[in-house]
Amino acid sequence: MSRFINERKNNWQRLEDLLSILDVSSFRGLSRAEVREFGELYRRAATDLAIARAETRDPKLVNYLNSLVIRAHGKIYRAEAQGVGLIWQFFTKDFPRTFRKNVRYMQIAFGIFIFFAIFGFITTWINSDFSHFVALSGIEYEIKANNQWWLSLNDANQLGSSQILTNNILVTFRVFSMGAFLGIGAFYDLAFEGARLGSVFALCYKINPPFGNALASFVVGHGVIELSTIFFCAGAGMMIGYALVNPGDLTRAQALKKKGMDAAKIVIGCACLLVIAGIIEGFLSPSNLPAWVKIGTGVSTGIAMYSYLFLVGSESEEEKKITA
């Protein structure tokens, strides 16, 4: 039986790889050769399942092959046009599961940003000239004049909200695309933006502390979601960059395709999260509501978002065996 497994395990693994691609796309995402290969691997797996049931008493092997065949069968006979069902599956399973599977990349992005935010704050506190290195020339005048520029968003909330939303999406797509450049580009972007954020807060609290409190009150409402999506998209870009550097047992093309599908899920999910952040930033953040309302909004939306990402769509033990 060990010989049976050794001779066929590569076929089973290849079928799993193709299934992982189909988890985020239809058969149109495969080449013609891959579609034919998928059909052949499915038939072989079904045959192997029959052999395993007849000639072995190993329940783990039988259960594994049975699950593999069921997954492949479902992909073959699934209706192409599921409409709302596909959207529901994406938000209840695909997006949160993909996030959890690749969370270490987001953690790295978060670590880089926070490190340089602290670095920017401390360096600017020691020497205000550091702000010029992170494109903050002239910000000192605004702070000394107590010119809270963000309040101008109240003059035209709809326009301000749409501009903010557009800018946020551009930023996240930029860190994503930079991350695909072997991860180096995302590191630079995260470091720069982190140092810039830390620097502006250091200037505020150093020159005009009430101004710093006002800025913090403005940022906190939307900042949890907004900054998180930047980390997520940077991590998604790093996934692609790392797949090019270390494809593992796959070819670089296969690894890039596999990780690219996961990255696309994360970016699409982040674009939806940014709609929420843009609405909060355009309407709530610049409003005259008390600071506790904005802080409460930031905390509650953050808890809701991370609870969703870490808890929704949890896999059953059987599903974990299938994808292990």
Domain residue extents for the chain: 2-81, 99-311
**Would you say how long the chain is, in residues?**
324
Alpha helix (H) residue ranges in the chain? 2-22, 32-55, 59-77, 84-89, 95-101, 103-126, 139-144, 157-179, 184-207, 209-245, 252-279, 291-311, 317-323
Tens digit of each residue's pLDDT, the chain (324 residues): 677 788 888 899 889 888 888 776 767 677 788 888 888 998 899 888 888 888 777 788 888 888 888 888 877 766 444 556 678 888 998 999 999 999 999 999 999 999 999 999 999 999 999 988 888 887 888 787 776 665 654 444 444 445 555 666 677 777 888 777 777 888 888 899 899 999 999 999 998 888 888 889 888 998 999 999 999 999 999 988 888 888 877 788 878 888 888 998 999 999 889 889 888 887 888 888 899 999 999 999 999 999 999 999 876 544 444 444
Question: CB-based burial of residue 16 (10 Å sphere; 0-12 exposed, 13-18 middle, 19+ buried)?
Answer: middle
Cα–Cα distances in angstroms (integers) from residue 136 to residues 201, 234, 323, in the given order: 11, 23, 48
Count the neighbouring beta carbons within 10 Å of the beta carbon of residue 236: 32
Q: What confidence score (pLDDT) does residue 166 get?
A: 61
pLDDT at residue 89 in the model: 83
Of 106, 81, 112, 29, nearest to 263 by C-alpha is 106
Instruction: For residues 294 and 286, give the distance between their C-alpha atoms in angstroms, rounded to a whole number.
Output: 10
CA distance 106 to 117: 16
- The answer to whether 310 touches 96, Cβ cutoff 8 Å, is yes
Give the pTM.
0.70
What pLDDT is recorded for position 257?
Answer: 81
Rounded Cα gap, residues 118 and 197, in angstroms? 9
Between CA 189 and CA 241 the distance in angstroms is 15
Instruction: Please tell me the distance from the alpha carbon of residue 255 to that of residue 277, in angstroms, as a whole number.
Output: 32
Query: Which residues lie closer than 8 Å to 125 by C-beta, 6 or more apart?
Result: 202, 206
The confidence score (pLDDT) of residue 323 equals 45
